[in-house]
Chains A and B, each alone.
Chain A
Amino acid sequence: MTMRTKEQIALQEVKSESIKISGAEAVIRCLLAEGVDLIYGYPGGAIMPVYDELYKFQDQLNHVLTRHEQGATHAAQGYARTSGKVGVAIATSGPGATNLVTGIADAQIDSTPMVCITGQVGSHLLGSDAFQETDIIGISTPVTKWNYQITKASEIPEIFAKAFYIARSGRPGPVLIDITKDAQFDNFDFKYQKCTGVRSYQPVPVLDHESVEKAAAMINQAKKPFIVWGQGVILGAAENEFKDFVEKTGIPAAWTILGLSALPTAHPLNVGMVGMHGNYGPNLLTNECDLLIAIGMRFDDRVTGDLNTYAKQAKIIHFEIDPAEINKNVTADVPILGNCRESLTALLPLVEKKSHSLWLERFHELMKVEVKEVIDKDLRPDKEGLSMGEVIAAINKHTQGDAVLVTDVGQHQMVACRYTDFVRSRSNVTSGGLGTMGFALPAALGAKMGAPEREVVAVIGDGGYQMTIQELGTIFQTQAAVKIVVLNNEFLGMVRQWQQLFFDKRYASTEMVNPDFITIAKGYYLDAKKVDKRDDLDAAVAEMIASDKPYFLEVRVEKEDNVFPMIPTGASVSDIRLK
């Protein structure tokens, strides 16, 4: 007998003849038909009929109770980022729904496929300011790829099918479905059909082969070509095609924070990170290259710095799936619309095999400068206090660079992304575009559940950690073996750094008086350890990685270290500072 997936079973059950079921049961059957076996959420009045069905279907659909709805969205995001599947979060109306908004906005700007389901007051109460009524459709409109309010049970199958299709296709993003309580209760003839297209929506633009040929000619002629890649390579599952392209052309390639891990850190043509706290060479040489090849990235201001002085000398080729990103911030000489996997496959036979050793050497020379001025101090500090960089180095040593790194937002994020070793893709989960503090702890839970066979290490600052610290409860309850490292400098470090550099050290509201994090972790029955001496760091990290349970490690780091290199806001990439 061949094994059937849950998806096939669910479809089979309802395929030929329709069955009369409640809207709430239909919600569960839609999720099963879409291959969903794990959702994150929080119950409440207006979503109770669906929860009642979740109880009945608990052997097929695992619901993880987070401690706050925001945690449910970030967990769904973490799950989506490591698994490549659509993350699902569910909440009740009113405050339950509004608590989802931060995670939805984060998923929108970082192109994460997610479906959020909210309960809504009965349709006869809409607009009456009923208990826990809020206009979540209005509120979520600017931060969703699509949203819809269901007021009739019969709409459920079609809308769910459409929601999953829209969330995962093209440039992925979050979709919200709001379901009135009466639509959950009503019975109707259920029949599910997967969505294969929406008439007004073209998820992937048709590849223009003429542009590909033009790009190939430019690449073959370029003397100092430079690649900047982003998350599009990962979302398009184009890692192999990308690697082939980089290796055949011999072009130095740098990553945006969301592109990290698509090409191994140790790859000889991986020259580091671009942007505000990126590496010295790739930033400086952005303004020296003669051809900039942007692949699946969107020229965020944190990447480009001042646009008027960004790569003005270079011709620009922009591989992008979303037409709205073309010429939005940087004008492309040759835009190549489409899925970058398809575009790179078409491009590869047209480019000549080359090496750009002299040009690549320029990156290496500048890396030597950065090592001397910045990296040595970060990884081998001569101060008594621990640096964030040496903690990351210790993690690298014990994970052999094969862990999923989940980071929050701030100094620790920049340091972790700069220094963590990666050997495979889908290993970096961070809040890039929105910069959501509080993202990491719940996202790490989701990341671990999306890739249970992998080591997941969350590196979090003491500020962001306390924004969603309650999710320790979810980690305890699920026993997801997440390794949590809090780099505690008792400051909101990145803001403090800016205050030091640009506001004459006026440290307005950035010093944190923190609780005993070990007691808190132990209160959730988690193994926990604190390190404040260099000599204890290696053994503590080794013990954490060796554990097969969730583990909390607090590392007290130097209070007033700064992250360099740095491009001050509004400055040019070539004005990058080493101190």
Chain B
Amino acid sequence: MDKTSYTISIYSENNVGLLNRISAIFLKRHINIESLTTSQSEIKDVFRFIIIVNVEEDKVKKLIKQIEKQVDVIKAYYHTDEETIFQESALYKVKSSALFEERHIQNIIKDSHANIVTVSPEYFVIEKTGFRNETDRLYHDLAPFGLLQFVRSGRISVSKSKMGISEILKQFKTNN
């Protein structure tokens, strides 16, 4: 079976220590987490994890079951890239002098549809949200001008199919 990039979406309670409990599941199986983001979900008091891993499908299936087994986890799903809408954000900090001395840099920003977040006499910060290859291209284009700092977020993603967490929560209630 081939390794594929899978997006694992976890709906959970927002409890101290749950991140540790979930990451321990990957650690125990010697699986590297490519990226991880956590945030509030569409439901009040329900938290959401997005974890990207590169593994075989039978492995990701077992990971999902181990994750769902945790008491504080409501539901976990896995999806391929094709089954999700996903984005990453990147910030690029560049010397202000470059903006004024190198005319080319203005074209780069315009062509990449990036936004200038802030400008100061010393530096300016560019933000780009998109696919990995887009933030990568901007990185390579800006690198020759000297990047003071670069950072990219983990992937955030929503599934094309329905998640139905409210129904699952209701079902938990009737079964308990």
Contact = CB atoms under 8 A, between A and B. Distances in A.
Given A138-B20, A322-B69, A328-B62, A200 B176 contact: no
Interface string A197-210: 11111100010000
A412 interface: no
B17 A137 contact: yes
Contact of A324 (B24, B66, B175): B66
B17 A200 contact: no
Interface residues of B, number: 24
Interface stretch (B33-41, B70-78, B125-133): B70-78
Q: Which of under 10, 10 to 19, 20 to 34, or 35 or more describes the interface residues of A?
A: 20 to 34
A202 B28 contact: no
A199 B173 contact: yes
A404 interface: no
Contacts of A323: 65, 68-69
A324 B69 contact: yes
B21 interface: yes
B24 A200 contact: no
A145 interface: yes
Chief secondary structure at chain A's binding surface: mixed
A142 B73 contact: no
A166 interface: yes
A328 to B, nearest CB: 6
Contact of A200 (B12, B20, B61): B12
Contacts of B21: 141-142
A198 B73 CA distance: 11
A149 B16 contact: yes
A199 B169 contact: yes
A200 B71 contact: yes
Contacts of B173: 197, 199
B73 A200 contact: yes
A147 interface: yes
B88 interface: no
A16 interface: no
Nearest to B21: A141
Contacts of B13: 199-200
B170 to A, nearest CB: 10
B19 to A, nearest CB: 10
A357 interface: no
B100 interface: no
Contacts of B16: 149
B69 A200 contact: no
Contact of A141 (B17, B65, B74): B17
Interface in B1-46: 12-13, 16-17, 20-21, 24, 27-28
A26 B20 CA distance: 29
Contacts of A327: 61-62
Nearest to B22: A141
A202 B172 CA distance: 6
B175 A206 contact: yes
A197 B175 CA distance: 9
Contact of B72 (A196, A200, A206, A328): A200
Contact of A145 (B65, B71, B73, B169): B71
Contacts of A149: 16-17
B92 to A, nearest CB: 35
A142 B24 contact: yes
A141 B169 contact: no
A197 B169 CA distance: 12
Contacts of A328: 62, 65
A323 B62 CA distance: 10
Given A141-B17, A145-B71, A323-B68, A200 B172 contact: yes
A460 B173 CA distance: 47
Nearest to A151: B16
A324 B71 contact: no
A57 interface: no
A322 B66 CA distance: 10
A201 B175 CA distance: 10
In the complex, which of the residues B16, B61, B71, B175 has the most CB atoms of chain A within 10 Å of its own CB atom?
Answer: B71
B169 A202 contact: no
Interface in A302-316: none
Nearest to B69: A324
A324 B72 contact: no
A137 B17 CA distance: 8
Interface in A107-149: 137-138, 141-142, 145-149
Interface in A185-224: 196-202, 206
B176 A147 contact: no
Nearest to A196: B176
Interface in A253-268: none
Contacts of A201: 71-72, 172
A326 B62 CA distance: 9
Nearest to B173: A199
A327 B60 CA distance: 13
Contacts of A206: 175
Interface in A324-338: 324, 326-328
Nearest to B74: A200
Contacts of A142: 21, 24, 27-28
A166 B68 CA distance: 15
A206 B171 CA distance: 11
A451 to B, nearest CB: 30
Nearest to B45: A199
Contacts of A166: 71
B62 A147 contact: no
Contacts of B27: 142
In the complex, which of the residues B27, B169, B172, B176 has the most CB atoms of chain A within 10 Å of its own CB atom?
Answer: B176
Contacts of A202: 172, 175-176
Given A199-B172, A202-B176, A146 B68 contact: no
B90 to A, nearest CB: 32
B49 to A, nearest CB: 13
Given A141-B17, A147-B17, A200-B72, 11 more contacts: A138-B17, A141-B24, A149-B17, A198-B71, A199-B13, A200-B12, A200-B13, A200-B74, A201-B71, A202-B172, A324-B65
28 contacts: A137-B17, A138-B20, A141-B17, A141-B20, A142-B28, A146-B71, A148-B17, A149-B16, A149-B17, A166-B71, A197-B176, A198-B176, A199-B74, A199-B169, A199-B172, A199-B173, A200-B13, A200-B71, A200-B172, A201-B71, A201-B172, A202-B175, A206-B175, A323-B68, A324-B66, A324-B68, A324-B69, A328-B65
What are the nearest 6 A-B pairs in CB distance?
Answer: A197-B176, A324-B65, A142-B24, A200-B74, A146-B71, A201-B71
Interface of B: 12-13, 16-17, 20-21, 24, 27-28, 61-62, 65-66, 68-69, 71-74, 169, 172-173, 175-176
Interface of A: 137-138, 141-142, 145-149, 166, 196-202, 206, 322-324, 326-328
